[in-house]
Chains A and B, each alone.
Chain A
């Protein structure tokens, strides 16, 4: 069964008198374990598609099914639960909670999931170890570099064992060395833990690392290529 199934997805925005067709009839499926990137020029609809799949925005038409749950008709609380249980997010500008430490940021999702304390602690430590942040558990975002903050964001995204991690330009604010190490990390997580990733990016290094590249233009998928 597909993790994501998108059918006939339409999302239009009104900008003054002009209707912007951010998504104009998108169909695609994502299988478990995929490491897929959405490519395309600015305004092609990549971020809108990620937001739709993440249940952060409502479509004008079409359906989205995440891990067997059709999400386009859900209430805001039900959507929050889907995001909590099935999805992880990595944003371009990290978006960590500034008053929480690295440990607490990663732990937050598990707290919301209601995981028992002992199991939670074990999971957070494992996750921080997996993203290479052991020893930095108690630092707050302000005390971490950009690359380290993005690792915390990745830890937060994967700690709850989601079916899918959505990453919107995760390397856009990082230098090339940090970007490469982050991409390596996500590829390792994909390979060793089977976590499914869907990126939107301009970064050619992510494109190189991806097993599948979906190209978009004017709100439509123009090319869908799987690498051997």
Chain B
């Protein structure tokens, strides 16, 4: 189409100006894509950590435990639930977990503790605590007297591998004090103050014995290899193990505060990027307006020889659209290269922040990897083109209001 050809030639009439404006669009978009990639990577990391340590892709819990977290809100028949899930999902890892709060004492000191009773070999698959051991060994599944604790807890109790500690808590009915002696088998360091200072891991059987309730758990978590398949896994699990008094939840429902945090963070990111888009749009508006004003006489001539004002407006819109497409192509190319780098190598903040950082109760690596979020990136590329076209709309409208004789009088 000829209008397209004319628009292209007009753009390259002042090549330097076009190049500078396209570069502004491109660098703005590349920066936005980089931020989207970083956010996507961070969210993926948070979700992965949240799912692995706080829940699973699908969790089976007692009705109400999600909101209240009372120790007596238990899933009964946890062994059978776990066995059913293992049979139905042979590729998956199933971790029945019992969370107990209490006091732990050594010969020298005592401290508050959050004890997680679970299947150690399964936790080693889904959690990263086993990789963070700085002393001792990971717990064996039948080691009902062994306990793994965080480094700060070990420091405050002044205990080492092999030392004895005593856990003190209450029975499930909360009517009696109970205690149990453990030996420290391993000490981990995650960098997270809560995990390192309060968390301990023992076997599920040990925790069940403590509260004198065999075959119970607060949560039976199913971890599947492909997170994208969790809706189907949830539907299947729901069918198999659903029972009165039990909740079968998919991870977004099991981790509502994390999901909300990510949503809020994403929206605030969008707001920031919209502000940046506005700044770029102002630059584009300036360019298009300048190029329209300096060609006012030429537009007058085009109207004089019979071009309709609306078609002239379309020409200007087309010029801005082409500018937007050009800037977006270059921006997408560079933005994608940056994201590809972030996906492959990440950004290492460990020199500045140490090896880990804590966010929303999760311990995350300070080597931050990016991730591809094609939907969101595509939306930003599209938005860039739309914003550029909109920036040309006012100059285009201005043109359609001109009388040819006034336009031709312009210098």
Residues of A in contact with B (beta carbons under 8 Å apart): 51, 54, 56-58, 76-77, 80-81, 83-85, 87-89, 91, 95, 97-100, 108-109, 111-113, 156-157, 160
**A109-B305, A109-B306, A112-B307 given. 14 additional CB < 8 A pairs?**
A51-B405, A57-B404, A77-B309, A89-B304, A91-B408, A95-B298, A95-B301, A95-B408, A97-B302, A98-B298, A99-B6, A99-B9, A108-B305, A157-B305
User: In the bound complex, how far is the Cα of B58 from the Cα of A21, in angstroms?
Assistant: 86
Binary contact track B303-337/A, C-beta < 8 Å → 1, others 0: 11111111100000000000000000000000000
| A84 → B minimal CB distance (Å) | 3
Contact of B405 with A57 in the complex, beta carbons under 8 Å = yes
Contact of A81 with B306 in the complex, beta carbons under 8 Å = yes
Contact of B307 with A80 in the complex, beta carbons under 8 Å = yes
7 closest residue pairs by CB, A with B = A84-B306, A99-B9, A57-B405, A95-B301, A56-B405, A56-B404, A83-B306
CB within 8 A of B305: which of A51, A58, A156?
Answer: A156
User: In the bound complex, how far is the Cα of B9 from the Cα of A110, in angstroms?
Assistant: 19
Q: How many A-B residue pairs have CB under 8 A?
A: 68
B163 touches A (CB below 8 Å): no
Residue of A nearest to B8 (CB): A99
Contact of A111 with B2 in the complex, beta carbons under 8 Å = yes
| A9 → B minimal CB distance (Å) | 15
| A120 → B minimal CB distance (Å) | 11
| B303 → A minimal CB distance (Å) | 6
Contact of A100 with B9 in the complex, beta carbons under 8 Å = yes
The interface size of chain B toward A, counting residues with CB under 8 Å, comes to 22
Contact of B306 with A95 in the complex, beta carbons under 8 Å = no
B213 touches A (CB below 8 Å): no
Contact of A84 with B305 in the complex, beta carbons under 8 Å = yes
**Pairs A–B under 8 Å by Cβ, sample size 21:** A54-B304, A56-B403, A56-B404, A56-B405, A57-B405, A77-B308, A77-B310, A80-B303, A80-B307, A83-B303, A83-B305, A88-B305, A95-B408, A98-B298, A99-B6, A99-B9, A100-B6, A108-B305, A109-B306, A111-B2, A112-B306
| A45 → B minimal CB distance (Å) | 14
User: In the bound complex, how far is the Cα of B404 from the Cα of A95, in angstroms?
Assistant: 13
| A128 → B minimal CB distance (Å) | 16
Given contacts A98-B13, A99-B6, contact A89 B405 (CB under 8 A): no
Most buried by A among B2, B13, B310: B2
B297 touches A (CB below 8 Å): yes
| A137 → B minimal CB distance (Å) | 16
| A119 → B minimal CB distance (Å) | 16
CB within 8 A of A80: which of B298, B301, B308, B408?
Answer: B308
Residues in B282-302 with C-beta less than 8 Å from chain A? 297-298, 301-302
Contact of A80 with B306 in the complex, beta carbons under 8 Å = yes
Contact of B298 with A97 in the complex, beta carbons under 8 Å = yes
B171 touches A (CB below 8 Å): no
| A103 → B minimal CB distance (Å) | 12
Binary contact track B72-114/A, C-beta < 8 Å → 1, others 0: 0000000000000000000000000000000000000000000
